[in-house]
């Protein structure tokens, strides 16, 4: 799958007062349209890897399915950019909020679209997992150094599902919400218990990212970047430990600090 993430292009580079023709690695961007029960549901602009995980995670995140058992069939037509999902049950969410929506790679869905089903799908964390400061910094360093595509292009987000001691799965995407959906789909497809797990994330902790973490079911989110004020408020409401600015040997804890131990 790694070969689908980027391509090489000849570009013009300006450096030290002159123009040079050089080869550069550019991250790929791919639109995937999801059909649910033969109706167009959403188009997601993503990095073209782990499609099945992303579709499953996205549908679970939006409350369309509760488990993989709700899916009768799922097929991906990569040549056309289509994902076809047939459910065993009728959709329980109001489809007018989803029909033919476009979800770009730079940010999440509109606030109106995003918040309609959060009350049903976001979970207050009951996690008793703790992690040390040293482990938090080590997991961030391990995730960042493991992403060859990020090192080559600088154009993707990384997200990892971890225990305090090790990374379990790492997913990469141009859209930070897509990377989290891929992790959610991974946990569903592989029946990985998530209550005692941690999400390590390269991007900022927005309200959307925090709610995605709540829907997945983890109690700790570790980020290299900053949180927003709404994300902090939601983290406190949902009993999630939000840690930001993990850089070098320092970080900031914004909510539920009791899970970060010395």
Encode pLDDT of 160-177 as tens digits: 999 999 999 999 999 999
Residue 215: CATH number of its domain: 3.40.140.10
Question: What is the rounded distance in angstroms from the CA atom of residue 115 to the CA atom of residue 25?
Answer: 36
Strands (E), 187-254: 198-201, 220-223, 241-247, 250-253
Q: Token digits for 184?
A: 């959610």
Examine residue 195 and state whether it is found in any structural domain, yes or no: yes
Question: What is the rounded distance in angstroms from the CA atom of residue 262 to the CA atom of residue 255?
Answer: 16
Examine residue 103 and state whether it is found in any structural domain, yes or no: no
Annotated catalytic residue: which of 46, 107, 162, 256? 107
Is 162 tagged catalytic?
A: no
Encode pLDDT of 76-129 as tens digits: 999 999 999 999 977 655 555 554 444 555 554 433 334 556 766 788 999 999
Domain count, the chain: 1
- Given this model, what pLDDT does residue 147 score? 72
Examine residue 58 and state whether it is found in any structural domain, yes or no: no
Question: What is the rounded distance in angstroms from the CA atom of residue 23 to the CA atom of residue 121?
Answer: 45
Residue burial 89-123, b: 16+ Cβ < 10 Å; e: rest: eebeeeeeebeeeebebeebbeeeebebbbeebbb
Any idea how long the chain is?
262
Contact indicator for 175, 156 with CB cutoff of 8 Å: no
Determine the structural domain holding residue 143 and report its residue range: 133-259
Examine residue 138 and state whether it is found in any structural domain, yes or no: yes
């Amino acid at each position: 799958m790694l070969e689908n993430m980027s391509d090489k292009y000849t570009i013009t580079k300006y450096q030290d007062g002159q123009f040079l023709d050089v080869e550069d690695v550019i991250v790929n961007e791919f639109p995937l349209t999801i059909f649910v029960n033969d109706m167009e549901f959403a188009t997601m602009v993503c990095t073209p890897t782990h499609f099945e995980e992303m579709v499953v995670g996205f549908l679970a995140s939006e409350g369309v399915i509760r488990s993989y058992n709700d899916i009768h069939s799922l097929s991906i037509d990569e040549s056309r950019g289509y994902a076809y999902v047939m459910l065993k049950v009728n959709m329980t969410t109001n489809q007018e909020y989803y029909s033919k929506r476009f979800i770009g790679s730079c940010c999440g869905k509109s606030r109106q679209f995003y918040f309609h089903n959060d009350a049903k799908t976001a979970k207050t964390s009951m996690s008793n997992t703790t992690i040390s400061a040293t482990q938090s910094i080590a997991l961030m360093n391990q995730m960042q150094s493991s992403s060859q595509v990020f090192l080559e292009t600088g154009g993707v987000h990384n997200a990892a599902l971890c225990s305090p001691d090790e990374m379990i799965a790492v997913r990469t995407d141009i859209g930070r919400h897509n990377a989290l959906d891929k992790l959610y789909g991974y946990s569903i497809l592989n029946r990985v218990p998530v209550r005692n797990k941690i999400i390590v994330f390269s991007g900022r902790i927005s309200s959307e990212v925090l709610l995605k973490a709540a829907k997945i079911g983890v109690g700790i989110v570790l980020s290299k970047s900053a949180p927003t004020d709404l994300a902090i408020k939601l983290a406190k409401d949902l009993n999630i430990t939000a840690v930001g600015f993990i850089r070098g040997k320092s970080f900031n804890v914004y909510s539920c600090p009791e899970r970060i131990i010395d």
